[in-house]
Amino acid sequence: MAERDLYLHEVIDIVGQGQYEYMAHAAREPTNAMPDMLTLQGTFFVCAVGGGRWPQVVNLWDVGEAGWDGWAANVDRLNLKRRAAFYGDWWDEAAQWRTGGLDRLCGGVAGSPTTASLAAAGVRGTLFVHQLLTVRPGAALDYLDAVVAEQVPVWRDHGHEPTGIYEVLSNQHEVVVVWATSIAAQTGL
């Protein structure tokens, strides 16, 4: 299997108005400081007027430079015997703000920025548009090639910078595209 940058796109169901506390808690997740473990690229709350389910938080985790070996290490640390050693208390505290969620393991495609390249370029946004799209089964990579070649230049001209262009690796029909922008640029698109 070819080496790819791997990311975890996680949608968390939030209790009441706990999104801000949960986002701050996610930023303190212990693996952020552990080598070769998941690192939080960003955490975002879903606006009630944005066209999605709410209250929710979206976390985007970078699996790291170790690729599939890093993914395997992260899965291994989550087994029941090891969980407490890594961060059982962190999960117990997080439970007060969340009820569950859904994650998608994603692979970056050619033309998708990395966490390091985003930081080096100083990419920022006041609004992050997360597109979770259904494509024809088996056509995810072709679709994402078209996003890179056609959509990115047009949206960039309208104040949108891609922060992730991902194939969902657990199925044949989903892709994730994330854009950093502003409310003004989004309404002008």
Residue ranges, comma separated, of all CATH 3.30.70.100 domains in the chain are: 8-105
CATH no. of 8-105: 3.30.70.100
Question: Looking at the whole model, is its pTM more than 0.85?
Answer: yes
Alpha helices per DSSP H over 55-164: 67-77, 80-94, 115-121, 140-146, 152-157
Which distant-in-sequence residues (6+ apart) come within 8 Å of 171 by Cβ? Answer: none
Predicted local distance difference test score (pLDDT) of residue 81 = 62
pLDDT means per 10 residues in the chain (189 residues)? 85 95 92 83 85 89 91 78 69 91 97 97 96 98 99 98 98 98 95
In angstroms, the CA 109 to CA 113 distance is 9
The answer to whether the beta carbons of residues 12 and 59 sit under 8 Å apart is yes
Q: Which CATH fold topology does 109-189 show?
A: Alpha-Beta Plaits (3.30.70)
In angstroms, the CA 66 to CA 43 distance is 22
Structure tokens at 50: 């944005």
